Amino acid sequence: MNKLKEILIATVAALAMPVVNAEVVSSSADHYRLSHKASSSMTPDELWLRLVQPDTWWHPDHTYSGDSTNLSLDLRAGGHWSEQWADNSVLHGIVLNVDKGKLLRLDAPFGPLQSMAVTVIWTIRIEADGDGSVVMFEELANGVSTSQLDELAGAVDGVKSEALARLVRKK
């Protein structure tokens, strides 16, 4: 009976997960382009408020500290998406553009991309859709051919897909 209960719980949890359309649009040794899109029952204003608080939706497994409550976002051009804990800190991205409620663009080489001197532009757009909203992640990475970005594109796509699903899910 426990096995049936586990299957039922897993099925209900899967059905509750938002649908994320994700795609590695293109990739080669020196670049990749990702595209993600998901709908949310949150209004654009509600979704924006959630977006600008990454500690509420970014998965802790994809932080250096293992704790997403250590994340912060300074929402202005030149501001930082950073992580600080104990005597440690990481700059994950620099804000390039803010159009409140509609667009956030960062230069954000997260994780291993940072040590590879890769440029990663991550654009997040929010649009109204009926009573809710649609959010789109577009990411473009460029490096040198020895970066082997085509080998990382799938993993980055998975991290961003998970992030988008967590973002659009109501608490």
CATH number at residue 116: 3.30.530.20
Q: What is the pTM of this model?
A: 0.87
Q: Count how many domains the chain has.
A: 1
Mean pLDDT lowest among 16-20, 85-89, 93-97: 16-20
In a domain, 15, yes or no: no
Alpha helices in 71-119 (DSSP H): none
Question: Strand 80-85 vs strand 71-73: parallel, antiparallel, or unpaired?
Answer: antiparallel
The verdict on residue 44 lying in a domain is yes
Range of the domain at 114: 20-168
> Is residue 53 assigned to a domain?
yes
116 assigned to some structural domain: yes
Residue 12 resides in a domain? no
Is residue 26 situated within a structural domain? yes
Q: What is the DSSP code (8-state) at residue 18? A: P
pLDDT at 12: 38
What's the CA gap between 18 and 45, in Å, rounded? 19
Angle at the Cα of 143 (from 137 to 144), degrees rounded to 5? 155
| Domain presence at residue 62 | yes
Residue 4 domain flag: no
Out of 6-15, 33-42, 82-91, 115-124, pick the least confident: 6-15
- State whether residue 158 is helix, strand or coil: helix
Question: Average pLDDT, stretch 44-56?
Answer: 97
∠ CA(77), CA(78), CA(81), 5° rounding?
A: 100
List phi, psi (to 5°) of 138.
-125, 130
